[in-house]
A = this chain, B = another copy of it.
Amino acid sequence: MSAHATLEVRLEDRSYPIHIGPGLLGRGDLVSAHLPQKKAVIVTNSTVAPLYLDAFRESLARAGVGNEVVILPDGEDHKDWQTLNRIFDALLARNAERKTALIALGGGVIGDMTGFAAATYQRGVPFVQIPTTLLSQVDSSVGGKTAINHPLGKNMIGAFYQPRVVIADTDTLKTLPARELSAGLAEVIKYGLIGDAPFFEWLEANIDRLLAGEASALTYAIEQSCRNKAVVVAADEREQGVRAHLNFGHTFGHAIEAGLGFGVWLHGEAVAAGMAIAARVSRRMGLVDDQLVKRTLSLLERAQLPVRGPALGAGRYLQLMGHDKKVEGGRTRFVLLRGLGEAFVTADVPQETLQLVLEGEGVDAA
């Protein structure tokens, strides 16, 4: 038995625990406790399977959970209907029933697709998430967002669907490429910026321990990130209000991902640049001072993240944001800062401010 942290996400009858710490892939009992039937189909990808699948299956088997496997190709390119349908094909070919659980073992793409499959197979079957990247551990673990991409937009088809339990094993981060660890840290830093100044300060002091993969630091950072997200999600499960804060950096970030083609930049990298843009917009509007922008850029840079978007041109940025889900009544709503740990939503951003900041992306230096 390993020591680990447990966080309860409170959503009335859809509440569930997140277990965080090293060695948890060996704890099939933590999964088993939440299954209505001791049967599961594990969905993973061709990168994660060779690393963790066998050990996890054995741990499930020890806990009495019969399991089968669907292995999908790796990558955001495959977050589409065709790949999702391979899950449905496998479930139907095996006569999977309504109480058979779907377990996502992998990063955000596997989690999003498996979650959407679980939300929609026979109109909903039990879902378990085993995120194996930092980004998915701090982002997809809380919130119940599932989706696939459409050729005309990222995450455009999906559902809100909560897992029965989430297991974040920090050991899986040992095999994560450095670039992906950094991309995950972008979302970690976001939680500090939008709502938790003390956590932002802890990150300023401990970013090097996280980059070095220290289990105790990672466990703390994941727990604080999930806790911050859980508070917001519990207040606004279906994204009608305050939950929009979680999209800090994402409106610009999605434009970057779409503009370059999905997969060129990692999601976390685009969000990092998007947060830097949002910070610059906030400063230009006189909402925050230079010092906060500097601290933000400095922490992102120490985490090996970009603090500039690519030079798409302001017009293209604005056009790409027209497809963003955060659009209402034809106007784009932005999440900005009015202080460290103080995000807010506004549609009142002067066009010339946007133009000025976005025209500078990829060009000027500060």
List the interface of chain A (C-beta within 8 A of B).
Answer: 37, 81, 85, 88-89, 92-93, 95, 97-99, 116, 119-124, 145-147, 150, 152-153, 156-160, 238-239, 322-323, 325, 327-330
Contacts and interface: CB of A to CB of B under 8 A. Distances in A.
Q: Describe A's contact surface by its main secondary structure.
A: mixed
A106 B160 CA distance: 27
A158 B322 contact: no
A159 B329 contact: no
A328 B97 contact: yes
B120 A145 contact: no
B92 A329 contact: no
B85 A124 contact: no
B85 A81 contact: yes
A250 B133 CA distance: 44
A98 B328 contact: yes
A147 B123 contact: yes
B120 A158 contact: yes
B160 A123 contact: yes
Nearest to A144: B123
Contacts of A121: 156-157
B99 A152 contact: no
Contacts of A99: 328-329
5 contacts: A81-B81, A88-B157, A95-B323, A98-B327, A99-B329
